[in-house]
Each structure stands twice: as C-alpha cells, then as structure tokens.
A and B are shown apart, each in its own frame.
Chain A
Amino acid sequence: MKPIIKVQNLSKQYSIGAAEAPYATFRETISGILRAPLKRLRGNGRVKDETIWALRDVSFEVEPGEVVGIIGRNGAGKSTLLKILSRITEPTIGAVDLYGRVASLLEVGTGFHPELTGRENTYLNGAILGMSRIEIERKFDEIVAFAEIAKFLDTPVKRYSSGMYVRLAFAVAAHLEPEILIVDEVLAVGDAAFQKKCLGKMEDVAKHGRTVLFVSHNMPAVKTLCSRALLLDAGSMVLDGGVDHIVDTYLRVGTDQIARTGIIPEDAPRTCGTGEVRFRSVQLTDRAGTDVSQLYLGQPFRVSLTFEALKEIREALIDVTVVALDGTRVAYASTIDGGNPPIRIPPGLHTIEMDMDVVLLPREYTFAVGIHHSTGTTIELIERALDFTVLRVAQNGGDSYRWPTVWGYVRPSSRWYARELFPNALTTGVRGAQDQIVGGNNGTS
C-alpha cells in the first residue's frame, strides 16, 4: 500500500550553545564578529559551534490507518521528530512527504488564554489547531459534552480546575478530523477516568482509518492503541516493528543498553591483548545477511567480524562468546572447534562470518569477541562488542517463551516420547519441542 507518511534520512542538528543562551544579544553577536577574524589570524581557526544531532538519519514509512507509537527515553528525539513532522521546526537534512492533512497535538491547550471563557477558548484553540469556524460551530456541542464543562462555558478558564482545563483542551483537540494526527504525551495529564476517555476517543480516531503517530511514556497505552512502534535512542531509530515486541524490549532493556552499531572504536575498552589485530566492527545479521538488533526465539543468526591486522599472525584463532547481560557466558564458539587448525591472518582488513546454531532464551545478550595466538596469548578482546535481544516469540509466531521468569539461557534440542499424552502425535518419535533445532557445535546434533 502507498504510504501516507514518508520519512527519509531525517536529521536535525541543534547547537548546544543555544541551550544555554536561547537568544543572542547584539553585543554578543558584534563581539563575536570582532573576535572571529582575530581567531583566524591567530591560526587556531576553530570557530565552530558545538552541536548535537537530536535526530540522526531516521527513515520510515507509515501506511494510511496505521497507529504508530514512538517510544524512547527522554532526549531520544521523539519530540524533535514530531516537531519536524508538524512543521514547527525544520530538518537539517532529509525529507518528509505527507499525503494528507496533518493536525498535531503536542501539548494540551496550546493557545488557551486564561482570561478568556471556555466558549471563547474553544473557538480560539480550534482555530489554532486548524479547524475552521464552521467546523468548530458544528462540533461545539459535542466538544462541550465530551469535556463535561457545560456549566462553566462562560467562566474564564483561569478559574477552572486543572482537570476541567485539561478536559476542555483535550476535547477540542479530539474533535480534529485530520488524515494524520500527531500526538505527543498528552495523556500524562488528567485523572485516570479522563485518560481512559481520551484513549477511547483516540481509538475511535484510528478506527476511522486515520493515521496516528503517538508519543507516550505510558506503555500500556501505547500497546493498547498502536499496532506498530518505533523505538528511538539518541536520535536514531533503533527498532521498528510490532508494538508488543518493541515495547517489551524497551521495558526490559532500556535503550541505553542496546549497542546499535557494533562499530568498535579505536579506543574501545580493552582489558588485555597485544594489539597486533584490532576489531573494527561486529555485526549481527539473519542468515540472509540483513542487520538485526533482536532475534526472534529460535531464529538462526550470523555474526560478522571485521578486523584489521597490523602484521601477520601465523597461527591464530578467533572466538565469539554469547554473554548474557547478567555476566553469564552462555555459548562459546571458536575457529578451532572440532579440531580445525589455527588460521593465518595476513596484514590488512578482513571479515569473517560465523553462523551459530543455538536457541537462546529471551534475554539480553552481548557478544564477546576475541582473537588469540594458538598458544593462548590474547591479541584482541572486546568483552561487550554488540548487544542484542532475544524476543519471546518465534518469527512465524507459532512458538513462544511463555513464562515471566526465564529459566536457563539456551533451549537444547529435545525429543519427548509418550504417545498417549500427545493427542496429535502420529509417530512414536514425537518432538514436542522445536524440531527445527539442530545443534551445530553444541553437541546435540
């Protein structure tokens, strides 16, 4: 289906200086102008502002009728994304195409004036949110009924209780009829009963085939409303997919533990190693070679290691260990497993790929990767190279890990026999557990 929202490589840069002094004064600007050339004359011409990327290379598409939750920690770039989509601020790089009318609700009661009455504010706020006067008139009674403030219509809103204020403000916004609705954390306000009503209203909106982008820290609400979620962290999109997986991942892991890139910097923490070889990157992909940061339960995966040898290593071995984030080393594989001879690494950049067959139980893991001399001397060791998550469900949805407490780390291949207890069994060798699991180096093949 054709997308209604198309976001391509969206990035937004802010200068950090602006956060301290939001506005300049003539004096500063003038002294800046006077100082800048002097600096250049002195030769240390670094007159650059410190900047941060609030949003970095975010791309996604949304189809009409989709309700997409956007989640992430504070400062992850959620609001910046919504502000760009709402045309409040411009992107630094990238493009957005919107194939529908947009209304955004980044705050409840934007433009409400305390001196004006409820009735007046309804009109004013409606107009600010993009409703026409006729539209507001038509929906006026409905709005008032929704807000439950009929008695106080002609009272200035400064005399409203905060609950009434929020109710009216949300009521106006809830009656917008755009094709795309952008909502930022508005449910954080109001009492539980009203929040419930708001959620119901938003669900109605979605049912009418409208597209909704919804930012919230209220995870149950996101789960209830959305079918899909985007997880942002430090300005980048970390995950995109079904809302349940993503919310669960976010709740359990917290995005700060998801190593996104697998790029190993020059100054990565190393506790040992002679340093003749340096890892450059570690990638987790599926067997087709597509990058993933999470694995479905039982999903076969591949680890690609890129490293640079500064000099030739005659006899080396490379290993990968799956380490649970609680520190337990779960599975270990190396190039000499099964009696393979050591490898010779010529100088230069190399990539080695490894398919690991192990069913990891749903947890957070990381890869520890190492290169050693066949004598045992460590050349390079990165103990936390790339974090990843194993989800509770299998890719096809037919299998899942169902219990709140995860027992163990891996699921061995197993065969269960007892014909009378398996109603669907046709043969004696009933494989109650997963039959696709075939151990590679884990000794169960």
Chain B
Amino acid sequence: MHLTTSDSASVTESETAVGNALTAKTAPPRNAAPALPDEPLVKIRPSKSSVALDLRDLWAYRELLYFLTWRDLKVRYKQTALGVAWAIIQPLFTMLIFTLFFGRLAGIPSDRVPYPVFVYAGLLLWTFFANAVTNSGNSLVGNANLLTKVYFPRMIIPGAAVAAGLVDFFIAFVILVGLMIYYGVSVTWSVMLLPVLVTLTTLLALGVGMWMSALNVKYRDIRYALPFVIQLWMFISPVIYPSSFVPQKWRWVLALNPLTGIIEGFRASLLGQKAFDWVSLGISAAITLVMLVYAAYTFRQMERSFADIV
C-alpha cells in the first residue's frame, strides 16, 4: 500500500461528485497577485453619529442608477398591451375628467388659459411628483433583496425610482405640447425657465421620496400613509385651481407648500399666462433644498441599519 503523509484524513471522507470533479488541488500562485495599494481601498468601521454624503461613491455607481432606472421602466411596461402609452393615459384621462367636473361644472377659473391646458400642465407635474414620491418611498422595501445581498450606495434605489418617473414625465409632456398647439397657446422667453422648474420638482421628489423610503424600512406605516398623504397634498396644491383662486389672506399658507411655487412657476413659464411669482418660487426652492439636505442626512443615518431591519 502506498502511503502519503499529506492528507491522511481524507481516507475517511466519502467524497461527493463535486469533490471528485477537480482532481488536483493547485496552490494559488502567490506571485500572480497584483501589487497592493499602501492605503486600504475600503475601510469598514462602525459609523459614528454623523456620516458624510460620499458623493464620490455615488458617482462611482452612476451606471447602476442608469440600470435600475432602465429596469423600473422596462418592468413597468412589460406584458402590458398599451406599454408606454400608460405614461400618457394617466394624466390625459385625469385631465378630461377634471376639465369636465372642475372646469365646466364647477367653473374653476384658469388664469385666462383654456382649462384643459391649464389643468394638464398642473397634472403633468403633479403626476410626476406623486408617482416619483410614491415609487421611491416604497423602493427600498421593494428592493429588500438587493439591500441584504449587495453593496452599493443605497440612495441609488430611491434615486432610480425618481429618474424613472422623470422619463414618464417627458413622454407625457408631448401631450401638453399637442394641447398647446391645439388651443393656440404660444410660448414666450420665459420657457427658458422650464428646466429649472423640472429640476426643482425632481429634487423635491427625491428629497421627499428618499426620506419616506428610509422611514418605510423602519416603519411600514409609511406604505399606508403615503398614498393618503399624496392624495391630500394634491388638493392643497394649485393643480386643479390657480393660486389666485385662494383668498389673498390665505395665500401665504398655500405658498408654504413647496409645490405651489413650482406648479405656478411651471405654468407661468410654459403658458406665459401670468407673471412669475418669484417670492413663492424662492420659498419653494428654499424648502426643496432644506428637504433634500435633511432627507440625505436622515437617509445616511438610517442607511446603516437597512440590511438588518428591512
């Protein structure tokens, strides 16, 4: 009997097919390893009370943002007969119903612009905002499997949900252009401000969505509260009515809603039916910024426990 001294205990083992699959064990060639950096690429420590935003990490994962956005869009319209048309159908039919009830029957004023154009412009922005907040608010919980299995900056998940909403927004925007042509609404130079307003909406949606998504991981109440809050939020935003519809002495309350300045500004820049309310827009921008910073901070704070509690 030939005896080897190395691995005697394997005599006792009943090796499975897998074990036999590879005949000889090869020692890794140590010299093939790349030279190591002096400083660790990744340092893992228990985090202190405050955490930096780490924009560099976010930037490194920008492609993942793209892929998750793309996935959200792909999945949303997979195996639907109408596909992307749903991005249009939602605001379009809401506009038709609102035009009938609020425009015709209730006679809500619309700043001298045909009510369908007026309400669609508002609904367009509102639908984007509402969907973005709802989807990103549920995004972390919906992607629990990713949270517990892979590392990447978690902000990408609510971020992708907002980005996917933005794509829908642009698709539905085409209808608005059509409506404006149909009703002969001409654009002025103020349309240049449109990108700013869309950006502001996106940031606000990101802020609220990110905050909600983080809270949702810990408190599932958010899942039930969010649709309800969003529904109420629409009625306190000048979507179906102009802010001039509200009595002067209550208008400042309305302006505290960051969407007031944004939606009013959006209409003003696109339809040019009235002057910009810079004050209201300034309030919106300020609240958006505060919201975003606060949300990012809270998110980073809560992020560390996501994988443990989701």
Q: Are A400 and B5 in contact (CB under 8 A)?
A: yes
**Contact bitstring B3-29, A, C-beta under 8 A = 1, else 0:** 101111111110111111110011111
Q: Give the complex CA separation of A76 and B96 in angstroms.
A: 61
Q: Are B64 and A66 in contact (CB under 8 A)?
A: no
**Which positions 184-205 of chain B face chain A at CB distance < 8 Å?**
none
Q: Are B8 and A199 in contact (CB under 8 A)?
A: no
Q: Are A123 and B307 in contact (CB under 8 A)?
A: no
Q: Enumerate chain A residues within 8 angstroms of B16, measured Cβ to Cβ.
A: 218, 220
Give the size of the chain A interface in residues (CB under 8 angstroms). 90
B28's partner among A24, A66, A94, A400 (CB-CB below 8 A) is A66
Known interface pairs A83-B307, A96-B43, A203-B22; A88-B151 also in contact (CB < 8 Å): yes
**Which positions 82-135 of chain A face chain B at CB distance < 8 Å?**
83-102, 104, 106-107, 110-111, 113, 115-116, 120, 123-124, 127-130, 132-133
Q: Give the complex CA separation of A92 and B6 in angstroms.
A: 40
**Which positions 159-206 of chain B face chain A at CB distance < 8 Å?**
none
Rounded to whole Å, the gap between the CB of B49 and the closest CB of chain A is 13
Q: Are B41 and A25 in contact (CB under 8 A)?
A: no
Query: Nearest CB to that of A191 among chain B residues?
Result: B17
**Which positions 251-310 of chain B face chain A at CB distance < 8 Å?**
304, 307-310
Q: Enumerate chain A residues within 8 angstroms of B307, measured Cβ to Cβ.
A: 83, 88-89
Q: Are B63 and A120 in contact (CB under 8 A)?
A: no
Q: Is B34 an interface residue (CB 8 A)?
A: yes
Query: Nearest CB to that of B3 among chain A residues?
Result: A402
Q: Give the complex CA separation of A2 and B30 in angstroms.
A: 12
Q: Is A208 an interface residue (CB 8 A)?
A: yes
User: B residues near A, CB below 8 A?
Assistant: 3, 5-13, 15-22, 25-34, 36-37, 40-47, 63-64, 66-68, 70-71, 74-75, 78-79, 145-152, 217-221, 304, 307-310
The 6 closest A-B pairs by CB, nearest first: A220-B19, A209-B32, A64-B33, A196-B21, A97-B40, A96-B44
Could you list 25 A-B pairs, sorted by A, with CB under 8 Å?
A: A4-B36, A23-B218, A23-B310, A26-B219, A26-B221, A64-B33, A84-B44, A86-B150, A87-B44, A91-B44, A93-B46, A96-B42, A97-B40, A98-B40, A102-B42, A104-B150, A107-B149, A115-B78, A195-B18, A196-B17, A199-B18, A207-B28, A208-B32, A219-B13, A227-B28
Supply 12 further A-B pairs (C-beta < 8 A) apart from A107-B149, A128-B67, A220-B16: A29-B219, A91-B46, A95-B45, A96-B43, A107-B145, A116-B75, A120-B74, A124-B70, A209-B32, A218-B18, A220-B15, A223-B19
